[in-house]
Amino acid sequence: MRRTNWRMAAVGIVLVLAAPVFFISMLGAAPRSNDPVALMQTVGQVAGVVGCLGLVMAIIGLVGKKRE
């Protein structure tokens, strides 16, 4: 039997939801940038990493660890 880590799963879900919100919110700041293409490439990479990290955390938290 495995024990679910609900805190890690919740943080992972929040990160998965925060990544696209961050990306969409930065779309408003891109036109004011000196190089909007480079800005959005960086924002996309950061949002992708945060989303993937959140997904991994959610899966690990839901799978849990073995009880002793």
| Residues β-bridged to residue 66 | 2
**Per-residue model confidence as pLDDT tens digits over 7-64:** 999 999 999 999 999 999 999 999 999 999 999 999 999 999 999 999 999 999 999 8
Say what the pLDDT of residue 5 is.
92
Say what the pLDDT of residue 11 is.
96
Locate the domains of the chain by residue range. Answer: 2-66
State the distance between the two ends of the chain, measured CA to CA, in whole angstroms: 9
Say what the pLDDT of residue 47 is.
96
Q: Provide the whole-model pTM.
A: 0.85
HSE-CB for 65 with a 13 A CA cutoff: 4
Question: What one-character DSSP code corresponds to residue 48?
Answer: H
- Which tokens hold the place of 67? 């009880």
